[in-house]
Structure 1
């Protein structure tokens, strides 16, 4: 969750559920491992919801690319670039790279 919106989700089989810009949905489906996300068999989640198979995110660069894609849509959809995560208190804006998890 970023800015109170779902960014991505990890699925049981290692796949990734990505929330992306519906305007570029068709192009994103051409990327390796990407297909239309479904909520149950045959029930499409609609444009902007993409399932990326584990093989499509097995390289760090591929995973990072999907995270950036989802983060850019999140920023545009929420109308602000500010992070609302509690642990990002020092950042005015979300960093361009995926942030490190909070220290415990």
Structure 2
């Protein structure tokens, strides 16, 4: 997956040749995580807590998606389209989150 900052300083995912599962992840990143570093940190922290057995399950609902994290899988469900993806490769998803966080940190300050 390739991430970039568009001309409006918004974090985006390049959509060329994405697998269906990656399309849902891309939608989740763009529509729910957006450019909010705290949201990325929250998800990473909760993945760690579930994997370390501190909590059994964590679930959160954003603008359009619900993410559920259990010891063996992560599920992202689109509340509008009712499409979902189940991720078993935690390292892959974490790598995407860390890349997204790096992208957020690279954005230019925008004064209003």
TM-score interval, normalised by the smaller of the two chains: 0.3 to 0.5
Give the number of the structure with larger relative contact order, counting CA–CA contacts within 8 Å between residues 6 or more apart: 1
With the length of structure 1 as denominator, give the TM-score of the two structures: 0.33
Q: Indicate the structure with greater strand content.
A: 2
Q: Indicate the structure with greater helix content.
A: 2
